[in-house]
Structure 1
Amino acid sequence: MLAAALFPTALVPAVAAPVPAAPADGTVELQMLGVNDVHGRLEPDLRNGVAGLPVLAGAVAQLRAENPATVLVSAGDNIGASTFTSFIAQDSPTIDAFNAAGLAVSAAGNHEFDRGFADLAGRVADEADFPVLGANVYAEGTQDPVLPESWVTTVEGVTIGFVGVVTAQTPSLVSPAGIADLDFGDPVEALDRVSADLADEVDVVVGLVHEGAETTSCAQIGAADDAFGRVVRETSADVDVIFSGHTHLGYACAFDVAGSDVQRPVVQGGQYGSHLARVRLTWDTAAEEVVAVATDLLPTVVGGVAAYPADPAVQAVVTAATAAAAEAGAVEVGTATGAIRRAYVDGVEDRGSESSLGSLVADSQRWATSRDNPAYGGAETDLAFTNPGGLRADLPAGTLTYRDVANVQPFANTLVVLEMTGSQVRQALEEQWQPAGSTRPKLYLGVSGNLAYTYLEEAERGAHVTSVTVDGEPLDPAATYRVAVNSFLASGGDGFSAFAQAAARADSGQIDLEAVVSYVEAHSPVTPPVLGRSVVGTGSEPTPVPTTPAPTPTPTPTAGPTTPAPSPSVTATPTPAPTTGAGWVRVDLRTEQVRVGGVLRATLTGLEPGQRVTATVHSTPVEIGTFTADADGEIVVAWTVPSSLPVGEHRLVLTSDGMDPVEVEFEVLAATSEALAATGATLASALLVALALLGAGAGVLHLRRRAAGRTA
Structure 2
Amino acid sequence: MRLTRLATALALTGLFSTPLLAAAQPANLAFSALGTYRSGLFEQGAAEIVAHDSRSQRLFVVNAASRKIDVLDIRTPSQPTLLFSIDLSAYGSSVNSVAVHRGVVAAAVEATVKTNPGKVVLLDADGQVKAAVTVGALPDMLTFSTDGRRLLVANEGEPSDDYLTDPEGSVSIIDLPPRLERLSQRQVRTAHFRNLKREDLDPSIRVFGPNASVAQDFEPEYITLSQDGRLAWVTLQENNAIAEIDVPAARVLAVRGLGYKDHGLPGNELDASDKDGQVNIRNWPVRGLYQPDSIASFRQHGRTYLVTANEGDARAYSGYAEEVRVGSSSYLLDPIKFPDAASLKQNANLGRLTVSKASGLNPQTGTYEAIYAFGARSFSVWSSDGRQVYDSGADFEKISAERMPALFNSNHKENTPDGRSDDKGPEPEGVTVARLWGKPYAFVGLERLSGVMVYDLSRPQAPRFVELVSNRNAAVQPPAAEAGDLGPEGVLVIDAAHSPIPGVPLLVVGNEVSGSTTLYRIDRR
TM bucket (normalised to shorter chain) is under 0.3
For normalisation by structure 2, the TM-score amounts to 0.27
Q: Based on CA coordinates, which of the two structures has the bigger radius of gyration? A: 1
| Larger helix percent | 1
| Larger strand percent | 2
For normalisation by structure 1, the TM-score amounts to 0.21
